[in-house]
A and B are shown apart, each in its own frame.
Chain A
């Protein structure tokens, strides 16, 4: 189960994720990202309530990061310990802008 909360003002969008981001829920997240991303210059992902992220979820983060690299900035905030460990192990902590 994954709940995504969207909020946006001007050119900034914030997506708050709660639950599990895995093979089952990644397509939903992918869809939301693609809906939100056109035209914005700042994307913030709030992972405060994200319990788990699988490689399918990481793939969506990577896609979002690559798109945002061409049109603005993307940051990830409130990363908990479990998810941070996954970011560290997979090397994602090197390519993401993580603000805690």
Chain B
């Protein structure tokens, strides 16, 4: 059904069939309807065969004509299902009418032997979770089986328990079933019909009404469940959409176009962030404060997911704003801590390493607020943890004074920064990647530029954790100082 076709008939269809969320269910129910018809047809075929070969000692003509009628009707219904591909709003009504008629026809032939047939259509109708359809089927069954009871009293398999006779009536057996003898004894059709209705149809209808009540309840409850499931699905889809958007916004907040400084030949920098969930609490940042000063930041917010991401966004902006005011690293962290602590009742905190490099001289000033040790590499040596002095995490407590340290980078030096997601990456057995393996991976990439250094470390982590789920955000930054080059 396309949107533009939705005119009067489209509206009517919606009224009759319920909302689109029931559409898939309806197609499945129609498929079940086809299956029920097919099985009924096969069982009828078996009854005919058993009657023909004499296992069922019924008069062939009384079985053959209603059975064949029913089989033809089933074939027509199956063809309709086929044509409509089980997907048409009217199909369920046609199926219900067809099923009731087929079963009522059989009921009129075999009467009390197959009294259970009356409840089948209404039980099946509950599969559609449509109150209207179940009501419709219940009323239709009541009427159709009334007529089948009347017809059955006159022509069907007689129920001897309901036959009343005048005192002293004598009968001569005609052979075969006693029912035939009784009919031939001239009992009146009026008595048979009356007694069938009183002693067969009405008790049966009472049991039927209980089944109808149960089915109707299943319909209501099932309908509620489908609706609430649908609402949950819609909500989940919306949250998923929002998280994906949040992920994109977060990624856009970080410098992510490389080479980041195409016109600066004195250094090269590259960084990545892989959140464990859609959004993460890690971040990196780098920017030029002025022509000669590059600021580099790596940080990790406590916790994960949306709360960490919200806190991360605020932290990143506050740090960058402070850094751009030409403050020293220790002052930037001290002021950031005051700003964050003034509105932090949730006791969130963030660990930060922040360094400012004087590009012309290679002088690096850095401060560390509870973050992992940075890894430094000097030409001719190996990558090694730089056990710098640590202050308390940012956001934890007011009034913390951070300290900074200085070091001079030789041309060819590199800095590798990371969050705890790297050394604490865990494999399926719960073993951690660890600082040793991290340093090993770095020292295997001594001649690499920042991009391939991070690639190598990532490869090394991936081959360590294998199939295990990534548990924490993983963020890395690699900086290479080339020094003054002759242009």
Assess whether A88 is in contact with B390, with CB atoms less than 8 Å apart. Answer: yes
Tell which of A23, A63, A94 touches B303, judged by Cβ atoms closer than 8 Å: A23
Q: A26 to B302, alpha carbons, bound, how many Å?
A: 11
Q: A23 contacts B349, CB within 8 Å?
A: no
Residues of B within 8 A of A66 (CB): 347, 397
B396 within 8 A of partner (CB): yes
A58 neighbours in B (Cβ, 8 Å): 302, 349, 393
A62 and B349 contact, CB distance less than 8 A? yes
A84 at the interface (CB under 8 A from B): no
Report chain A residues within 8 Å CB of B371: 89
**Please, which residues of chain A bring their CB within 8 A of the CB of B397?**
62, 66, 95
Docked-complex contact B347 and A55, CB < 8 angstroms? no
Partner of A90, one of B304, B348, B393, B472: B393
* Complex: chain B residue closest to A24, CB-CB: B471
Which of chain A's residues have a CB closer than 8 A to the CB of B300?
A: 55
Q: How large is the interface on A (under 10, 10 to 19, 20 to 34, 35 or more residues)?
A: 10 to 19
Q: Is the CB of B351 within 8 A of A59?
A: no
Whether the pair B348, A59 counts as a contact (CB closer than 8 A) is yes
Q: 0/1 per residue, B391-414, Cβ < 8 Å to A?
A: 111001100000000000000000
Chain A residues positioned under 8 Å from B393 (CB to CB)? 58, 90-92
Chain A interface, >50% SS class: helix
Query: What residues on A are CB-neighbors of B373 within 8 Å?
Result: 89
Residue pair B347, A63 in contact (C-beta under 8 Å): yes
B361-407 interface with A by 8 A CB criterion: 369-373, 390-393, 396-397
Q: Pick the contact of A91: B347, B348, B391, B424 (CB < 8 A).
A: B391
**Contact indicator A59/B302 (Cβ below 8 Å):** yes
Q: A94 contacts which chain B residues (CB < 8 A)?
A: 392
Q: Judging by beta carbons under 8 Å apart, are B302 and A55 in contact?
A: yes
B433 to chain A, nearest CB (A): 14
- Closest Cβ neighbor of A63 among chain B residues: B347
Interface presence of A83 (CB below 8 A): no
User: Within the assembled complex, what's the spacing in Å between the Cα atoms of A2 and B300?
Assistant: 23
**By the criterion CB–CB under 8 Å, are A62 and B304 in contact?**
no
Q: Bound state CA distance, A59 and B395, in angstroms?
A: 10
- Asked if B302 and A92 sit within 8 Å, CB to CB, the answer is no
Q: Are A91 and B302 within 8 A (Cβ)?
A: no
Number of B interface residues, CB 8 Å?
Answer: 23
User: Hey, what's the 0/1 contact readout for A66-100 against B, CB within 8 Å counting as 1?
Assistant: 10000000000000000000001111101100000
- Provided the pairs A62-B396, A63-B347 are in contact, do residues A90 and B303 lie with their beta carbons within 8 angstroms? no
Among A54, A62, A89, point to the contact of B347 (Cβ < 8 A): A62
Q: CB-nearest residue of chain A relative to B348?
A: A59
User: Is A37 an interface residue when CB atoms closer than 8 A count as contact?
Assistant: no
Q: Could you tell me the distance between the alpha carbons of A88 and B372 in the complex, rounded to whole angstroms?
A: 10
A window 26-51: CB within 8 A of B: 26
Residue A13 at the chain B interface, CB threshold 8 Å: no
Residue pair B390, A59 in contact (C-beta under 8 Å): no
Q: Considering the complex, give the chain B residue whose CB is closest to the CB of A90.
A: B370
CA distance A95 to B400 in the complex (A): 11
Check: A56 CB closer than 8 A to any chain B CB: yes
For the complex formed, measure the closest distance between the CB of A19 and the CB atoms of chain B, giving whole angstroms. 11
In the complex, what residues of A have CB within 8 A of residue B392's CB? 90-92, 94-95
Question: Which chain B positions have C-beta within 8 A of A54?
Answer: 420, 424, 472
Q: Give every chain B residue within 8 A of A95 (Cβ-Cβ).
A: 392, 396-397
Central interface residue in B348, B373, B392, B424, by most chain A CB within 10 Å: B392
Residues from chain B with a CB closer than 8 A to the CB of A90 are: 351, 370, 390, 392-393
Most chain B CB within a 10 A radius of its CB, from A54, A88, A90: A90
A26 to B472, CA, bound (A): 15
Most chain A CB within a 10 A radius of its CB, from B301, B349, B369, B424: B349
Nearest Cβ distance between residue A83 and chain B, in whole angstroms?
13
Contacts A89-B373, A90-B370, A91-B369 given; does A56 touch B390 at CB 8 Å = no
Report the separation of the CA atoms of residues A27 and B137 in the bound assembly, to the nearest whole angstrom: 53
| Distance from B372 Cβ to chain A, minimum over Cβ atoms (Å) | 6
User: CA separation between A23 and B348, bound complex, in Å?
Assistant: 13
Which residues in B have their C-beta under 8 angstroms from that of A89? 370-373, 390
- A59-B348, A91-B393, A92-B392 given; 12 more Cβ-contact pairs under 8 Å: A55-B351, A56-B303, A58-B302, A58-B349, A59-B302, A59-B303, A62-B347, A88-B390, A89-B370, A89-B373, A91-B369, A95-B397
Q: Which A residues have a C-beta under 8 Å from some C-beta of B?
A: 23, 26, 54-56, 58-59, 62-63, 66, 88-92, 94-95
Q: What are 19 A-B pairs at a CB distance below 8 A?
A: A54-B420, A54-B424, A54-B472, A55-B302, A56-B302, A58-B349, A59-B303, A59-B347, A62-B347, A62-B396, A66-B347, A89-B370, A89-B373, A90-B390, A91-B369, A91-B370, A91-B393, A91-B396, A95-B392
* Cβ-closest 8 pairs across A and B: A91-B392, A55-B302, A90-B370, A91-B370, A59-B302, A56-B303, A63-B347, A91-B390
